[in-house]
Amino acid sequence: MATALGRHLALVGFMGAGKTTKGREVAARLGRPFVDLDREVEAQSGTSIEVMFAHGEQVFRDAEERAAAKVLRAPEPAVVALGGGAVLSAATRAELERHLTVLVDIDVDAAWERVRKSGRPLARNEREFRMLYEARRPVYEQVVDARAADVDGIVLAAGGVHVETGAFAQLAALVPGEGRVSLVTDRHVAGIYGAEAQLAIGGRLASEHELPSGEEAKRLAVAARLWDELAVDRTGTVVALGGGCVTDVAGFAAATHLRGVAWVAVPTTLVGQVDAAIGGKTGLDTGTGKNRVGAFHWPARTVIDPGLLQTLPAEERRAGMAELVKTGLLAGEALWELPDAELVRRAAAFKTAVCLRDPTEQGERAILNLGHTFGHALEAASGYEIRHGDAVALGLTAALELSERRYGLDPDWRARVRELLDPQPVAVDRDAARGALVRDKKAVDGRPRLVLLEAPGRPVVTDEVPLDEVHAALDALVTG
């Protein structure tokens, strides 16, 4: 598995790459402890690195190897920044095999600029520094699972999420392992990207499966057909190419086929790229509602190619914008103003961090439901006739209005959301919507659990809003 779930996230790379600064920030975003191996070496030996070097580099390397073994064997998953030369040790390289190792990339000129005045023992002579850089590169290549240059990039790598325009064409290299591959897609996406996908997967392709498009795919009968027809054994991988409906059902089939096989998500909608394909929630709809059956099954990798959005119809893009606006409000930034490739990357990194902090939704992952409690109630009351994206857009305005009343949120945010998403009240039965709100999966003793904002970037989860206030906010979303 190409993720840091349940294991250490080790950062390697040349001096000056910013492993310590970035590592500390990544650890805060993932809710993990941060360990700087250099400081650990000093703490364990009771001597400074400079003094160890004065006795010869090997004195330092031996102490570093001992400290690395201790840190990498500690049970609590942490973010560990290793010194630039720590991977020279074969023992440390062997330890790293059990963890996710990310190369924090920097080019040699930038590295030299950053460290030339630092007084570090190995950064005193530019020619030697450059030679060392060249000598170390192949050693890093031996141990790394992924490369990243900034904090978002490291967070994405930790979740096994690869975001790159053009990544679709490199699918064969991005599907972990060497086993056979079953490709699952929907009819519509198969017509646009099927041939390219076959080519990209190449010789590992064992079977292809076309599902109906849209929610029709998320039925038990469709999953059952996949259980019968998937041509992968437990060494194989299911590759799901499509929107959230395809990744939800194919991920569920992968979670349950042979008691669980690996899967790779290749989202092709904006909803999929910023939300559905990240974080391991898979599921089906049943007679009692949407997503009533499912499993947490984290993809071995999520391959996001923003270039695939070029063929997305405008109404599907609009549906994705609602999820993107939600993410921007939670992150506290107008992500929707960024160009496609950047907004996808930023939003994907935000969701990845939240899900890594809480992979099975025991707590704070609930913030991702901003706007969704109202949205789900409207969808249910309409018999799932209205689009999820439209329902979420309405739900966001209700959550923002309550946030203004309870926490004094600046009303300008609601105005911006309205302008961007233009949500229109829907004709559904009010009582049915109210009923759905208290029957929501996440309601507590009949009280809807809402996500509100104290401020952009500061979500709160509460079940303490009086029911009449909740009803008034819901009623404002309904016409007739």
Residues near ligand NAD, by CB under 6 A = 186, 188-189, 192, 213-215, 218, 242-246, 248, 268-269, 271-272, 275-276, 279, 281, 290-291, 308, 311-312, 316, 319, 388
Nearest distance from C-beta of residue 190 to ligand NAD, angstroms: 9
Element (H, E) at 171: helix 171-174
Nearest distance from C-beta of residue 236 to ligand NAD, angstroms: 22
Nearest distance from C-beta of residue 302 to ligand NAD, angstroms: 11
246 versus 453: smaller Cβ distance to ligand NAD? 246
85 versus 244: smaller Cβ distance to ligand NAD? 244
288 versus 479: smaller Cβ distance to ligand NAD? 288
Angstrom distance (rounded) from CA 99 to CA 173: 20
CA 86 to chain centre: 29
166 versus 466: smaller Cβ distance to ligand NAD? 166
Task: Name the 3-class secondary structure at 393.
Answer: helix
The residue type of 413 is: W
Angstrom distance (rounded) from CA 351 to CA 42: 36
Nearest distance from C-beta of residue 469 to ligand NAD, angstroms: 27
243 versus 423: smaller Cβ distance to ligand NAD? 243
Q: Structure tokens of 452?
A: 């509100």
Nearest distance from C-beta of residue 218 to ligand NAD, angstroms: 6
For residue 4, count other CB atoms closer than 10 A to its CB: 28
Q: At what angle do helices 412-421 and 388-407 cross, to 10 degrees?
A: 170
Q: Structure tokens of 326?
A: 């939600």
Nearest distance from C-beta of residue 455 to ligand NAD, angstroms: 25
Q: Hey, what's the torsion of the CAs at 78, 83, 88, 93, to 10 degrees?
A: 0
For residue 175, CA distances in Å to 75, 83, 209, 229, 238 come to 28, 30, 18, 20, 9
- β-sheet bridge partners, residue 161: 302
192 versus 334: smaller Cβ distance to ligand NAD? 192
Nearest distance from C-beta of residue 389 to ligand NAD, angstroms: 7
Nearest distance from C-beta of residue 323 to ligand NAD, angstroms: 7
Angstrom distance (rounded) from CA 313 to CA 315: 6
Task: Name the 3-class secondary structure at 129.
Answer: helix
Q: What are phi and psi of 197, to 5 degrees?
A: -65, -45
181 versus 189: smaller Cβ distance to ligand NAD? 189
312 versus 417: smaller Cβ distance to ligand NAD? 312
Nearest distance from C-beta of residue 58 to ligand NAD, angstroms: 50
Contacts of 414 (CB under 8 A, 6+ apart): 397, 400, 401, 404
Task: Name the 3-class secondary structure at 450.
Answer: strand
180 versus 281: smaller Cβ distance to ligand NAD? 281
96 versus 264: smaller Cβ distance to ligand NAD? 264
Q: Could you tell me which of 148, 144, 166, 168 has the C-alpha nearest to residue 157?
A: 148
40 versus 248: smaller Cβ distance to ligand NAD? 248
Angstrom distance (rounded) from CA 3 to CA 291: 25
Cβ neighbourhood burial of 57 (10 Å; 0-12, 13-18, 19+): middle
Q: Structure tokens of 151?
A: 């904090």
- DSSP-assigned states of every residue in 400-426: HHHHHHHH---THHHHHHHHHH----B
Asked if 419 and 468 count as a contact pair (C-beta separation under 8 A), the reply is no
Would you give the DSSP letter of residue 211? E
Nearest distance from C-beta of residue 286 to ligand NAD, angstroms: 13
65 versus 285: smaller Cβ distance to ligand NAD? 285
Nearest distance from C-beta of residue 285 to ligand NAD, angstroms: 7
Q: Structure tokens of 473?
A: 């906010």
For residue 230, count other CB atoms closer than 10 A to its CB: 22
Nearest distance from C-beta of residue 368 to ligand NAD, angstroms: 8
